[in-house]
Amino acid sequence: MKLGVIGGAGLLGATTAFYAAAEGVVDEFILYDLKENLAIGHAMDIDVAASEYHDIKISAGGFDDLANCDYIFNTAGVPEKAVASRADYLEGNIGIYRDIGKRIKTWDNVPVIINASNPIDVLNYVLFEEIGCTPEKIIGFSRNDSLRFRWSVARECGLRTSEVNAFVIGEHGEAQVPLFSTVRHAHTDAPITLNETQRANVLSRIGTWFSDYQKLDCGRSSGWTSGVSMTQILQMIRDESDAIVSCSVIPDGEYGLTGLSIGLPVQLYPGGVKKIIELKLEDSEAAGLNAAAEKIRNMTPS
C-alpha cells in the first residue's frame, strides 16, 4: 500500500504517517506540504522511528509525485482557529478543494482519496464533482464521531471503549446522529441498554466536545485521535475487512439519499467504498438523518 499525504507537515498528516508506519499498515509514504522543509523533517524522523519495527519507505515530494500512490490522505485546509462550528471553515477550504480536484483530474489514474478537512461532508462532495470519478473512490474521514460516541457510552456504563460497538451517522458536525439502536457489546454482540439519564449524559458529553476543545484556542485539531482512526481505516481497506465504519460517502439511493456526501455505515476494500450498509433505524434516528441531509445540501454549492 502506497499512501500519499497532502498536508504531510500538519498535525493530522504527520500523526497518521507516524502511527500507520509504526503499525506497519502502509509500505510506502510520500508526504507533500507547502512547508517542504517540515515535510522532509517528518519523513526523516518517522523513517528512523519506525525502522526498528517495520520495513517501510517514507519520503517527501511534490504534489504530482502523489499521482503514483494507491491512496491519498488529504488534510489540506486553512489553519486551525477557534470557531463555533466546523462549517465556519467552508469559505476558506472550498477553493483549496477545488484546486486540488483540478490537479488530480489531470492524472492518468485517480487514487482512492480520503479527505479530512471541514466541513467534510460538503468538501467531500465538492471534490467528487470536481474530479468526476466514481463515488466509491471518495471517502470523507469522520470515524472520530463514532469513536467519541463509543468512548462516552463506555464511560457511562463502566466499560472500556474497545468493549463497545456503536455508530454515528449524518453530518460531521452539530447534525450528527448517534445511533443508540446500534450500541452493543463488542465481544458478545449483546445490546447495551442505556436509561434516559445515561443517554442524556452521553449526548451532552459528545455534543459539547467540539466546543469545549475550541474554547482552548490551542491552534490544533484532534490529531492523535485522527491518527489512530485513520490507521484503523487503512487497515480495513488493506485487509478488505468485513468491519463496518462510519464515513462520509456518496449514496446512490441508500437510505433514500442521493446528490450529497453524508456520514453512513460502510464496508471498505482496496477500491474504496465496497458497500453502504443499510441499518434498521429508529424513527427518531431516520428523522435525524434526513435533517442532516437537508442541512448538508443547503451548505453544498451547486
For residue 62, the model assigns a pLDDT of 97
Q: What pLDDT, in 10s, does the model give residues 249-294?
A: 999 999 999 999 999 999 999 999 999 999 999 999 999 999 999 9
Average pLDDT over residues 41-58: 93
Banded model confidence at residue 302, pLDDT cuts 50, 70, 90: confident
Other CB atoms within 10 Å distance of the CB of residue 90: 20
Which CATH class name applies to 2-140?
A: alpha beta
**What is the overall mean pLDDT for the chain?**
93
For residue 223, the model assigns a pLDDT of 77
For residue 85, the model assigns a pLDDT of 59
Torsion angle defined by CA atoms of residues 162, 5, 55 and 50, in that order, rounded to the nearest 10 degrees: -60
| Whether pLDDT at 128 is above 80 | yes
Q: H or E segment at 28? A: strand 28-32
Q: What pLDDT, in 10s, does the model give residues 61-89?
A: 999 999 999 999 999 986 655 555 556 76
Lowest mean pLDDT, pick from 53-57, 211-215, 255-259, 273-277: 211-215
Domain boundaries, the chain: 2-140, 143-299
For residue 77, the model assigns a pLDDT of 82
Length of the chain: 302
Backbone angles phi, psi at 262, to 5 degrees: -155, 150
In the 8-state DSSP scheme, what is residue 209? H
Q: What pLDDT, in 10s, does the model give residues 153-210?
A: 999 999 999 999 999 999 998 999 999 999 999 999 999 999 999 999 999 999 887 7
| Whether pLDDT at 92 is above 90 | no
- CATH number assigned to the domain covering 143-299: 3.90.110.10
Q: H or E segment at 101? A: helix 90-104
